[in-house]
Every structure is written in structure tokens, then in C-alpha cells.
Structure 1
Amino acid sequence: MKRRSYASRPETLDTLFQGRLAIMQRRDGYRFSLDAVLLSHFVKLAGHEKIVDLGTGNGVIPLILASCNPSVLVTGLELQDSMVERAERNVRLNRLEPRVRIIRGDVCRIEQLFPPRSFDLVVANPPYRRIASGRINPDREKSLARHEIRGCLRDFIRAGFYLLPPGEKMDLVYPASRLSDLFNGMRAEGMEPKRLRIVHSYAESAATLLLVEGVKGAKSELKIMPPLIVYAKGKEYSPELKTILEGNSR
């Protein structure tokens, strides 16, 4: 991820995929992380999908999916006005207006925003810290994105269940330390875990992230994929990560 910094401005212009995708972000506010890139890579597309990203932030996941897959239509749902505005600018910056739209709305009130079963695929990078877990960041963009202040994991899964027809998929990224919460929440809301990829910083280190695909109303059977290793040594990305970040993996 290349970063261009402007000392006199509150935002930076970051690029992905060797400059093919540009993302405006607040310098000191919420910024997308590798989680979003890995989730976008994890998604399996058959073409012509209507996709919704719940809690889209700066819009990076819709931008990645639309830029790599010219047949998809992607909606980004975001609660915070500041990030809705920034995500809309990012859509225009990348000339993806015909296929990406950003909507302001609350995941917890999903029925007021969309009809049931109105998407083919749901993706989400939900807030991962409980209210009582750790210091809540004083920056509102960061705190709402990281802590379950305005929506918990179950709220996101429940919204995904509402938005999908039976048999369709929801893809999520979540901390490895909360695997039991994730699987229990998915099953409680009718979203059966069917595909799992575990992310490690190094081959010999403990897991850090989970990439999980659930299928609405499916029977129990989980496919565990080979682990995804971020670093080969030191701060050098693994060959797979380099390929993903270059945008050559689809």
C-alpha cells in the first residue's frame, strides 16, 4: 500500500494495486487496514452479483471488488456522515459511479433501508472490540469502527441474514481470538460457517485474523483452507501477500 502525504491537508491519498486504485483517508482518523484487502481477496465471485458491504468506512472494499470485477454492482452502507462523504468522493475519484453507490444508514435498522433478500452477497468487517474491552478512542470515526458502540457482531450477521436469499453467502473478517463468538453468532442467526481461512503474521506465529464465509440456511460442513501468511521474514511480505497487494490475484 503506497501512501502519499500532504502536510497541509487533513487527508492523505493512498494507492492500492500499483496505483490502479486511489483512496482518500483522514490523516489522523479512521484508516482502512490490511483486513479489508484480505477480505476482498477472500470473496469468491461468479459474476453479476449485487453485493453490499456493511460498515464500508472509506469505501475501500466496494472499490476493490468493483475495480477487479467489472460485472458486479456494489453498495457500501455506512453510519458516519464524514465517512459517507469521503467514500462517495473515493467512488468518483476512481470513476466507479455506475457500479458503486454509498448509502448512509444503520446496520441495526437494516429493514428500513432495503427490502429482504435484495443482495446476492454480503461482506462485512464488523467492529471487533466489546464496549468494555480496552480504551475507547476519543476520535469518533475510530471508536465507532473498532468498538461495538453502534452495532455488535450479531447485528451485522443478522443484517446479512435479512439481506440474502437462502443459500447465498456472507463473508466476514474478524480477530482470531474471537472465533467462538463469531461461529456461535453465525449459527445463532442462521448463517452457517462453510469456508475458513486463518491469517498469521508469520508461519510460526499464532493466528491473528479469520476470514469466514457463511451460507444462509446451509447444513454444517466447514472447509478449512491453507493458512494465509502475511510476512516471510522481518517486514518483508510473503509471496502471496505481494501478489494480493499488486492486484494480480484475481
Structure 2
Amino acid sequence: MFHFKQFSIEDSKSAMKVGTDAVLLGAWVKLKGAKRILDVGTGCGIIALMLAQRTDENVNDVQIEGIEIEELSVRQAEENLLETRWCNRVLFHHLSFQKFTSPYKYDLIISNPPYFINSQLPPASHRATARHTNSLTYEELIQHSIRLLTTKGKLAVILPYEEGKKFISLASLKGLFCNRELAFFSRQGKRQERWLMEFSFDASPTQKEQLILHSKGESWSDDYKNLTKDFYLKI
């Protein structure tokens, strides 16, 4: 059980465990103007619940949906939701993104997507589904995001650096352009580990930022603490 300041997450049944990637993306993404949000591959529901907390002031306006192909993960997300005050505006669906339909268009689609492509599949089938692009390719994520976004909507993702480069290239070919990005490093002088990216249909210049997790030793940097201070108990 992971305890945050305003909610707790149990991930024992979920293929997608709580990790730095989800917390980073949930804390970093811009939410201004987002009234309808879709979390693709929601896992145990952590990102959806983070966004529910961040939009508390707009409680009557913002609706959040999460979709997940893995049944046990969906059940766990629903159980986590039931322990919060956001049950009236967060909803989880058990199906693939490829099959998802909605009468609505979304202002924000957010995803911590699968990124293992040619590596050996892990032994647990539900873990394989969550982490490998066999279940959702980059092209499919981009294609169906375009189908479901409003004209001013945004797609936000987090990926390893090399996969991020591929994703930016594929998205631009389909008419989605990276307007904002965060280069994430575990330590100063190390190689970039993650790329957080926001895409829209507007081909405007990219706003570039960077964040280092550890400043000295194992201590979190001030920048990381500032980004995540509304969630972690010890900040």
C-alpha cells in the first residue's frame, strides 16, 4: 500500500506498479482548460487519482476516465477509487484503447504507455500486457488519441529517452507536435532516463525543461520535491 497525502494506492493485483514514472507524469502535465480527461492504460489508477486531486477546485467541471485492458488492474483501480472522495467524477473502463469509443472528445489524453518492443516478455501474462507494445503500439496510441482529442486537446506521455525520440517522429507524421517536454535525469552527469512530452495539433515551438531526481547522495532535488510536494507524505 502506497500512502499519498490525499489518497492511498494498492497495486498488489495490478500489472502496473506504482513508480516514479507515473508520479512524474501525473504531477507534471498541464491541466489548464482540461474538462474531460482520459488516462490510457490506467493500471492501479494512480495517475487518474492524482489528476482528480489536482482538479479538486473544479470538482463540478472535470471528469476523468481511465481505460485498462487488464481485468485485475481495473478491479484494483476501482477499489482504490472507492477509498477516495472522487467517485462521482472518476470512472474506469475494462477494454483496450483500440476498442474504446465515447460520445465525447477529450481535452487531455494521458498515458504511461508500454515501451518494451523486442525484449523477452516477462513470465506473467498480465505484466507482459502492461509493459510491452504488443498490446498497444505507439502508432495505435497516436492514431486513437487523434480520433478522441478535441481540436485543442493534448496528449501527454512518458517514455525512455530512445523510445521518446521514436514517438515524437511518429506523432509528427500524423499531425501531433511536441509543444512541451521534460528531460528527466536520475543524477547530474548521467544519461537522460525519461522523456515527458505534451503533444497537440499546433506546430508551435517546443518548451524544453529538465529535472534531476537526486541532488546529493540519495536526497531528492529541490526541483523534484517542488513538483511532487502535493503528493508525497514526507515533503
1:28-43 matched pairs, under 5 angstroms: 29-43=15-29
The corresponding residue for 2:222 is 239
User: Deviation of residue 16 (structure 1)?
Assistant: 1.9
Say whether 1:129 aligns with 2:116: yes
Say whether 1:222 aligns with 2:206: yes
1:159-178 matched pairs, under 5 angstroms: 159-178=144-163
Say whether 1:26 aligns with 2:26: no
1:74-223 matched pairs, under 5 angstroms: 74-110=64-100, 113-115=101-103, 118-130=105-117, 132-133=118-119, 135-216=120-201, 218-223=202-207
Amino acid at match of 1:97: C
Flag the 1:248–1:15 CA change in 2: closer, same or farther, 3 A: closer
Amino acid at match of 1:129: F
User: Deviation of residue 26 (structure 1)?
Assistant: 0.8
User: Deviation of residue 215 (structure 1)?
Assistant: 0.4
Structure 1 segments (4+ residues) deviating >6 Å: none
TM-score, normalised via structure 1 length: 0.85
User: Deviation of residue 143 (structure 1)?
Assistant: 1.3
Contact 2:24 2:228 in 1 (8 A): no
Say whether 1:53 aligns with 2:43: no
Aligned residue pair count? 228
Instruction: Report the secondary structure of 2:215's partner residue.
Output: strand
Identity score, percent = 26
Contact 1:47 1:69 in 2 (8 A): no
The corresponding residue for 2:4 is 16
Instruction: Report the secondary structure of 1:207's partner residue.
Output: coil
**Structure 2 residues without counterparts, runs of 5 or longer:** none
Flag the 1:28–1:67 CA change in 2: closer, same or farther, 3 A: closer
Taking the aligned partners of 1:165 and 1:48, their CA distance within structure 2 comes to: 10
| More displaced 10-residue stretch of structure 1: 175-184 or 57-66 | 175-184
Q: Alignment RMSD, CA only?
A: 1.9
TM-score, normalised via structure 2 length: 0.90
Instruction: Report the secondary structure of 2:47's partner residue.
Output: helix
Taking the aligned partners of 2:13 and 2:78, their CA distance within structure 1 comes to: 17
